[in-house]
Structure 1
Amino acid sequence: MATWADVDELAGRLPGAVLGVAHEGSPAWHAGRHTFARLRWDDDGRELVQVWTGEMDTEQALADRRDTFVRIDTFRYRVTMWARLDRLDRAELAALLVDSYDIRGGRRRRGDTDLADLLG
């Protein structure tokens, strides 16, 4: 079970990642000028993390996990998803964050940092 504190810890290990705020004031991690992880809440007050991916078939791939991935929006060049943090383990959260960081901030920015580095 992950929490926003796990997002802070993992995202903070990515090169150049900066903790800031989204336009409405919620915590958000940025790679350059782009947000790659953002805290949201569902109607019951549960923490959600919003991340991005370049995998355009994400909605179909996650169709059987809608209890975890409660919102998936597909745009022309990327997909954004909102996932319940308490339904993710740290390894899956780390993978989501790395993918989001790469698609929003650029793969070159990450350098040699990989999942093993992120998970410590």
Structure 2
Amino acid sequence: MAGNITYVKQKSGVIYAYENLGTWDPVNKKKICRRKLLGRFNPETGEIEPTDNRNKRLKKEYVPEPYEKDYKMPRTVKERGEEILRLLKELYELKASYAALDKKYRAILGKMADAEKSQPNE
């Protein structure tokens, strides 16, 4: 359901295009008007340039930066389960390596304590 488009000029001279959406609220028995930001209006080309709803222009090649290069968000329940199992396996491996490092660290501390006890006080 498309509403009519309104153009609003800001003090800075930028013109924004909004879509006015009107719906009927059966509970309160009155009309509800909502505005949706479509983007900036370019008077030179006569086109509406989409924004990311924070009044910033979107580039044509806009892609949000992923946290990891090859990471893809799991879409299905099966993929989510596989992702959870992978993360649990990684967590288990990290805990095991931490335990091994902690054991080595405590052994070194024990040797240092023994060395200090064996040295005579001067």
TM-score by length of 1: 0.16
The structure that has the greater radius of gyration is: 2
More RCO (CA 8 Å, sep 6+): 1
